[in-house]
Structure 1
Amino acid sequence: MAQKAAKSLASKNAATLNRTHQITVLLHSLFWVLHFVFNRPSALLRYILLTLPALGIEFYLERLGRPRYSPQDGSLKQSGEDMSAKGLTEYMWDVTYWTWGCLVAACVFGDRAWWLYLAVPFWSVYLLWTTFAGMKKGLAGMGGSGEASGETTSKRQQKLEKRGGQRVQHR
């Protein structure tokens, strides 16, 4: 039972990464088969530019999350990072899923569906803005006195200050 959590994380990561690679190969193959069968005019540069970020993210997630095993005895050496972590990893999965959606839409509706990919930069700007606004709000109360930053004191504390502050009893 040693390293049970690490072993379960390793198996979960391996399954997630294998499934991700299979879906990626399937969708890109479908795109190219439809491209050649229906002789669709496709801008190769657009396809490369818009799928390259997701492929780069997939490569990074592979390096980050793939478990490593010892070659001598096959024991778990490193389980890899959690693929369902919040923050940047979650954003990378969002970009990957959105790219898959755009790829399917390009298969069904043609090359004009790549315009859907513009949602990614807008989503990035929105996330940056909300993060910045949250940090600005959190850091607002760190400087100056209570009145200057808009803080008010409780009635109990006001009474204590009126009487001369808290008194300490010595025994």
Structure 2
Amino acid sequence: MAKQSAKRIAQENAARLALMSKLLVGVNGFYLVIRLFFQYSTLGWGETLMYLVTLLIELLLYRSLYMTSRPRYDTTGALVDAGTDLSQPGLVSYMFDYIYISWFVHLLSLVTRWAWMVYLAIPAYLAVAFGPSAMRFLGIGQGSGGRQEQGEVTEEDAAREKKRREKKERKQQRVKYARG
């Protein structure tokens, strides 16, 4: 049963990467044909440099996705590891998001030069998504942090801490299942 899941993941990864490679070549080929043959007079060094840098990052991310999602087989041809599941959330989805944003910007930049400003959405999203965590990690903007540093712990804080400890103990007592 576990091998069926690994085979399914390997097949889905292969199909997704095949589609990605076709889109990668198609979008960038379309951009280059339009830009070089029909809009060459409007092409400047800045825009060329932006395209090359974003294309390089796009290719590096695609290569990374390709390498991590490759299935591994033993000498008999049996599947050992299906590779990273490309449908999982987290870093993999952020890599896909960057590639999709790059394609959107490349196509939109054929219409307007302001399309490159869409890349500002990436650091804005990172600030919104990870800003609060970074602020807590750095200790910036904690309203009750001053009281705790002085040793004054309120009853509410003590109750919250007790609940947190009890929940952690309950979690440790659960049976954990390992993927085989």
**TM superposition score normalised by structure 2:** 0.69
Aligned sequence identity (%):
27
Residue aligning to 1:164: none
Residue aligning to 1:89: 92
Residue aligning to 2:165: none
Counterparts of 1:83 and 1:128, CA distance in 2: 22
- Where is the helix percentage greater, Structure 1 or Structure 2? 2
Distance 1:130 1:91, change over 3 A: farther
Amino acid at match of 1:105: L
1:146 and 1:152 in contact (8 A); partners too? no
Q: 1:55 aligns with which of 40, 56, 59?
A: 59
Q: Tell whether 2:22 aligns with 1:22.
A: yes
Amino acid at match of 1:147: T
Q: How does 1:11-160 map to 2 (within 5 A)?
A: 11-40=11-40, 41-42=42-43, 43-70=47-74, 72-107=75-110, 109-132=111-134, 147=154, 150-152=157-159
* Offset at residue 37 of structure 1 (A): 2.2
Moved more, 3-12 or 110-119: 110-119
> Cα deviations across residues 133-154 of structure 1 (Å, max 9, x unaligned)?
57778xx7x997762663558x
Distance 1:74 1:131, change over 3 A: same
Distance 1:46 1:2, change over 3 A: closer
Counterparts of 1:9 and 1:35, CA distance in 2: 38
Q: CA RMSD in A?
A: 2.8
Amino acid at match of 1:39: Q
Counterparts of 1:149 and 1:95, CA distance in 2: 43
1:27 and 1:104 in contact (8 A); partners too? yes
Unaligned runs of 5+ in 2: 161-180
Report the count of equivalent residues.
148
Q: Which has the larger radius of gyration?
A: 1
Moved more, 143-152 or 111-120: 143-152
**TM superposition score normalised by structure 1:** 0.72
* Offset at residue 34 of structure 1 (A): 0.3
Unaligned runs of 5+ in 1: 154-171
* Offset at residue 53 of structure 1 (A): 1.9
* Offset at residue 81 of structure 1 (A): 0.7
Counterparts of 1:145 and 1:92, CA distance in 2: 45
Distance 1:130 1:13, change over 3 A: farther
* Offset at residue 73 of structure 1 (A): 4.2
Amino acid at match of 1:66: R
Distance 1:117 1:5, change over 3 A: same
Distance 1:133 1:149, change over 3 A: farther
* Offset at residue 129 of structure 1 (A): 0.5
1:17 and 1:66 in contact (8 A); partners too? no
